Amino acid sequence: MLIDHPESFGARDRLTCTECGGDTILIRRSPHPEFGSSFETQVFRCLQCDRELTRSADVAGKPHS
């Protein structure tokens, strides 16, 4: 599935690494397996320690747990 609006789903968010507090970048996005196309699962990778963080967000970029 292509994502038409790359700036939606909070794609510009930078999360803070839970391990070291460093900056993370979004490396992977996919439609949410349970909540459908209105939600994404997103994987962020820490630039400092390479830890990967996963979150779910809706089209407005609001996190959904």
Q: Which residues bind Zn ion (CB under 5 A)?
A: 17, 19-20, 22, 46, 48-49, 51
Nearer to Zn ion, 27 or 59 (CB): 27
The C-alpha atoms of residue 2 and residue 48 are separated, in whole angstroms, by 29
Spell out the residues 6+ positions from residue 5 whose beta carbon is closer than 8 angstroms to its own: 59
Spell out the residues 6+ positions from residue 7 whose beta carbon is closer than 8 angstroms to its own: none
Q: State in angstroms the smallest separation of the CB of 7 from Zn ion.
A: 25
Q: State in angstroms the smallest separation of the CB of 28 from Zn ion.
A: 17
Q: State in angstroms the smallest separation of the CB of 10 from Zn ion.
A: 20
